[in-house]
Structure 1
Amino acid sequence: MELINTFESKINTLHIDLSKEQQSQYVTYYNMVVEKNKVMNLTGITEFDEFIDKHYIDSLSIVNAVDMTRVNSIIDVGTGAGFPGIPLKIAFPHLKITLLDSLNKRINFLNEVIETLGLQNVETCHGRAEDFGHRKEYREQYDLCASRAVANLSTLTEYCLPFVKVGGQFVSYKSGNVDNELKESSKAIKILGGEAGKVCSFVLPGTDFARTLVPIKKIKMTGNKYPRKAGTPSKEPL
Structure 2
Amino acid sequence: MALSPKLLLQWKALQGHGGSRLVCFSSRARVFCENALDPSQSKLVSAYIDKLLDWNQRMNLTSVTDRKEVMERHIRDSLSLLPVIEKHCSLSDGSLKVVDIGSGAGLPGIIFGIARPSWKITLIESIQKKCDFLEDAVLAVSLQNVSVVRARAEEKGRDVEFRETFDVAVARAVAEMRVLAELCLPFVAAGGIMVAAKGANPEEEVKSAEEAITLLGGSCANIIEVDSESPFGTRTAVVCLKATPTPEKYPRRPGAPSKRPLGFRSKRTEAG
Using the size of structure 1 for normalisation, the TM-score is 0.91
In the alignment, is residue 33 of structure 1 matched against residue 52 of structure 2? Answer: yes
- The 8 Å contact of residues 80 and 226 in structure 2, kept in 1 or not, is answered as no
Report the CA distance between 1:53 and its aligned residue.
Answer: 1.4
Report the CA distance between 1:64 and its aligned residue.
Answer: 3.6
- The 8 Å contact of residues 25 and 90 in structure 1, kept in 2 or not, is answered as yes
- Match for residue 5 of structure 1? none
Deviations 1:11-65 (A, max 9, x none): 13xx3241x3211111110010001100010001121221111111101111242
**Alpha-carbon distance in structure 2 between the residues aligned to 1:227 and 1:21:** 40
- Match for residue 107 of structure 1? 131
- The 8 Å contact of residues 79 and 149 in structure 1, kept in 2 or not, is answered as no
In the alignment, is residue 47 of structure 1 matched against residue 69 of structure 2? Answer: no
- Match for residue 238 of structure 2? 214
| % identical equivalent positions | 37
Deviations 1:154-176 (A, max 9, x none): 11100000000100000001112
C-alpha root-mean-square deviation of aligned residues, in Å? 1.6
Deviations 1:124-171 (A, max 9, x none): 111111101000010001000000033110111000000001000000
Size of the aligned set, in residue pairs, is 227
Report SS of the residue matched to 1:199: strand
Report the CA distance between 1:203 and its aligned residue.
Answer: 4.9
Q: Which runs of 4+ in 1 moved over 6 A?
A: none
**Alpha-carbon distance in structure 2 between the residues aligned to 1:206 and 1:218:** 30
> 1:1-238 alignment to 2 at 5 Å?
11-12=33-34, 15-18=35-38, 20-67=39-86, 70=91, 71-238=95-262
Report SS of the residue matched to 2:80: helix
- The 8 Å contact of residues 154 and 183 in structure 2, kept in 1 or not, is answered as yes
**Alpha-carbon distance in structure 2 between the residues aligned to 1:147 and 1:140:** 16
Q: Which moved more, 1:203-212 or 1:31-40?
A: 203-212
Give unmatched runs, 5+ long, in structure 1.
Answer: 1-9
Q: Which moved more, 1:76-85 or 1:113-122?
A: 113-122
Using the size of structure 2 for normalisation, the TM-score is 0.80
Report the CA distance between 1:69 and its aligned residue.
Answer: 5.9
**Alpha-carbon distance in structure 2 between the residues aligned to 1:62 and 1:45:** 20
- The 8 Å contact of residues 100 and 121 in structure 2, kept in 1 or not, is answered as yes
The higher-RCO structure (CA 8 Å, 6+ apart) is: 2
**Alpha-carbon distance in structure 2 between the residues aligned to 1:150 and 1:124:** 17
